[in-house]
Structures are given as structure tokens and as C-alpha cells.
Amino acid sequence: MQTLTGKNILLGISGGIAAYKCAELTRRLMERGAEVHIVMTEAAKEFITPLTMQAISGHPVAESLLDPRAEASMSHIELAKWADMVLLAPATADLIARVAAGMGNDLVSTAVLATDAPVVVAPAMNQQMYQNIATQENIATLSRRGMHIWGPDAGEQACGDVGPGRMLQPMDLVERCEAFFQPEATSDLLKGKSLLLTAGPTREALDPVRYITNHSSGKMGYALAQTAAEMGANVTLVSGPVAIEAPAGVSIINVDTAQQMHQEVMSRTTDADIFIGCAAVADYRPEMVSEQKMKKADDSDTLTITMVKNPDIIASVSALKTDRPFTVGFAAETQNVEQYALSKLERKNLDMICANDVSVGGQGFNSDDNALTLYWRDGKKNLPLDSKLALSREILVAVSERLETRD
């Protein structure tokens, strides 16, 4: 979706390890229609070259404040005036301090002084540097002056420390740019609607220490939950065991097995306007769960486990005679994707199905990206490879359009 068409973004890169992510950030912004020019600090060039950023953005990258070649193309003052947004990513402690002090001793800080466009700061630094009182006061100063502070994220850092200071992922920044420029476009799209959804894998026990499961990480379902909450929906997420944090503003119910997931979902359908089955639910479970750890048999090289069918959660939801929510399924296929997805749409009586080819690397299970085709009774929409967050937005826009025609 060309959500950033006509938007001019001046990306100011400073010298932190996260600078390497600016290639991806620029590409993703441009995919959405933004025009991106780059300015870099001297230190940034140690992490990613101006030539790389020039090749990706399609525009010359100024090497210094007085670079005759770049100034002939568009002077740094003209660039600051051209921008609809100045995005400082990564913004190191040093850059933040210089901007807070009002300095203009390099291209990036000069751009901030010379622009009247909104300035967004995406901090990235060591967690101790981030938590230092000087940095905190500088960030508070920028915020007080009306600059937007996006992030940082917390977690393991390149230096080995753990804590706050990681730059937001490129797609998180892109999503925020989209929401910044078009807050009205989707922020209320699901206002007043209740969304019930499932995510992650299920675990089917064999004995107290072993279980059968699959590769679902929960990323797709959690991205949907986060996006729906940002669009104003009241979101309840029934989640299998995953290693990711619950998105803000989402009610979460944790389960292990398909039977538990079935029970938790079915007790909540009455209030749901929309149900999305994104979980990779085990179709079968072991018939017998051994009370004690199963022992290896000396007299046999094989083990036979009898499996019995689990309830089909989404089929149960779509079969409801009263209060049936608009029901959206996923189809995880490794071959004949369209054929199998359409047959699930029909057989499970769904309103929409999101088909993904999980045999392709870099998408599907446990990846940050995915590629999907949405099918409904009389239409389809192809969503090429993109982040799960960006795809979630497109899925939910398509759902809300179909919901309107049904209402």
C-alpha cells in the first residue's frame, strides 16, 4: 500500500551499530511511496557508507557541511526545508546531546536546526548510556520542545548488555511513520469492534516431559492483535505457548493444548464481532497421555502412538447459529496453496482465509515477514512479502471492508 506517497523524509543517520538497519529502513519507506534523502554524521559513515545509502535512496548523500557536489544538487538548508519529517535514526547519545544543546556542527544537527518539519528521534545506544541522567535530561528536553521520541526497545544489545537502548526495528519505524502521517486513516477503523483471535502453537502431551507441537512463534497473531488494538478494537488473544510479550492493550489468555484453546475461544464468542484463527492448532493429540515418563523399550525399535482428532476451533466458531462473528482463518500450506486454501474457506464456512506458503524461506513460521493471499467468496487480494505488522494492517483493512458490506 502506498501509504507514504508524497511524503518527503530526511533521514539523519548518526554513528551507532544500528546504522546498518538504515538501508532496510530507507527501502521500506520508499516501497510505501516516500521520497527519502539522507544526511549522515562522520561517525555514521564508519557503520554504513554514503555510497550504499545513495544507491538505495537514489539521491546523492552529502559528505560534509560544505560538500560542493551535494550542495549543487540540493543544499542542506534546502533539504531541511524540503522535508515533511526529519527522522533521526539511529540517534546516538552524542547526537541527542548536540541537538538538545542547539548545536549545528554537522549535517544532521544543522538539518534539525534548519527545519520547521516534525523531528522524530529514534534513540539507539548502550543501555547504561541511555539510562544516564544526562541522556535522560537531553531526551526530556527534546520531547518538551515537541520532538517525537520513538523507542528505544529493550533487550540484548550488540555490546552484550541487556536493557533499554536498541533502536526500534525498521518496520516499527515505518509503521509509526504511516500512523503519524495518516492517523485518521486507520486509527478508528475498528473502534467499537471486539476481536477474538488465536495465535501460536498448541502442545499435545505424550507424557509429563514430552509433547507434540509445531514451529509457530506467535509473531503473525501477535502482530494482528497489536495492529487491531491500535485501530481501536477491543482485542482478546487466546495464545499458545510463545516467547513474545503481549502487545499493549490486549487481553491475553494463555493455553497449552488445542482442547484448552477450543474451550477458551468458545466461551468468548458471544461478544466477538470478528474471530481470527491464526494459531497453528494441532489437528490430532495422543490418545493416551502417560502419567509417568515413557521408558525406552529394549525389545522394540519402533513406537506406535495412536492419535485422536482435536476439535476444529474455527469450524466450531463459524458453525454458530447465533452471534456468529465474522470469521477469518489462515491456511498454512506447502503445496497447491490456492486450491487447499479455497477448500478450507468452503469446508470450514469462513468469511475470509489468509493463505501462506510455509515452504518458502524467510516467511511463514517464525519469521518477521510473510507473504499472503487473502480469499473471500467473490474475491482475493495478493499481499507480497512484507513485515507481519504491515500485513496485519492490510488484513484488518480488508476485514473491515468486508465487515461493512456484511453489516
Helix (H, G, I), strand (E, B) or coil at 123: strand
Q: How near is the Cβ of 186 to ligand PMT at its closest, in Å?
A: 21
Q: Angle at Cα 137 formed by Cα 136 and Cα 142, nearest 5°? A: 100
- Taking the C-alpha atoms of residue 126 and residue 156, their distance in angstroms, rounded to an integer, is 10
Does 283 count as an annotated binding residue?
A: yes
> Of the listed pieces 47-55, 185-193, 219-227, 249-257, which binds ligand PMT according to CB under 6 A?
219-227
Stretch 261-300 residues interacting with ligand PMT (CB under 6 A): 277-281, 283
- The contact mask relative to ligand PMT for 358-377 (x = CB under 6 A, - = no) is x-----xxx-----------
* H-run or E-run covering 396: helix 388-406
Pairing of strands 148-149, 153-156: unpaired
Q: At its nearest, how many Å lie between ligand PMT and the CB of residue 329?
A: 3
CA end-to-end span of the chain, whole Å? 25
Q: Give the DSSP H/E element, type plus range, for residue 265.
A: helix 258-266
Check whether 278 is labelled as a binding-site residue.
yes
| Binding test (CB under 6 A) with ligand PMT, winner from 32, 219, 268, 402 | 219
Cell of 197: 483471535
Cis amide linkage into residue 152, ω under 30° from 0:
yes
Q: Does 216 bind ligand PMT (CB under 6 A)?
A: yes
The answer on whether 21 is annotated among ligand-binding residues is no
DSSP 187: T
- In angstroms, the CA 285 to CA 33 distance is 47
Min dist. Cβ of residue 315 to ligand PMT (A): 7
CA distance 402 to 380: 12
Q: Which is nearer to ligand PMT, 164 or 241 (CB)?
A: 241
At 220, list the grid cell: 503473525
- Using CB under 6 A as the binding rule, the residues of this chain from 69 to 108 that contact ligand PMT are none
* CB 348, min distance to ligand PMT, A: 6
Round to whole Å and give the CA distance between 60 and 62. Answer: 6
State residue 350 phi and psi, 5-degree precision. Answer: -95, 160
Contact 41, 107 (CB under 8 A): yes
Q: Does residue number 391 form part of the binding site for ligand PMT (CB under 6 A)?
A: no
Q: How far is the CB of 136 from ligand PMT (least distance, A)?
A: 35
Closer of 123 and 200 to ligand PMT (Cβ): 200
348 is in an annotated binding site: yes
Nearer to ligand PMT, 6 or 384 (CB): 384
313 binds ligand PMT (CB under 6 A): yes
In the complex, least distance from residue 298 CB atom to ligand PMT, rounded to whole angstroms: 36
Is 81 annotated as a binding-site member?
no
Angle between helices 50-57 and 22-31 (to 10 degrees): 10
> DSSP characters for 39-82?
EE-TGGGGTS-HHHHHHHHSS--B-STT-HHHHHHS-HHHHHHH
Closest CB to ligand PMT among residues 38, 255: 255
DSSP 286-319: ES---SSPPPPPTT-S-----EEEPP-HHHHHHT
Whether 159 sits among the annotated catalytic residues: the reply is yes
Name the residue nearer to ligand PMT (CB basis): 130 or 330: 330
- Pairwise CA distance, residues 42 & 345, whole Å: 55
- Can residue 240 be called a binding residue for ligand PMT (CB under 6 A)? no
Q: Is 312 in the site for ligand PMT (CB under 6 A)?
A: yes
Nearest distance from C-beta of residue 132 to ligand PMT, angstroms:
36
Tell me if 388 is assigned to a ligand binding site.
no
Binder of ligand PMT out of 356, 373, 387, 392 (CB under 6 A): 356
211 strand-pairing partners: 205
Residue 26 vs 318, nearer CB to ligand PMT: 318
User: Measured from the CB atom, is 125 or 313 closer to ligand PMT?
Assistant: 313
Confirm whether residue 177 is marked as ligand binding.
Answer: no
The site for ligand PMT (CB under 6 A) is made up of: 198, 200, 216-221, 258, 277-281, 283, 310, 312-314, 329-332, 344, 356, 358, 364-366
Q: Tell me the catalytic residues.
A: 159
Binding-site residue set for CTP = 277-279, 283, 293, 311-314, 330, 344, 348
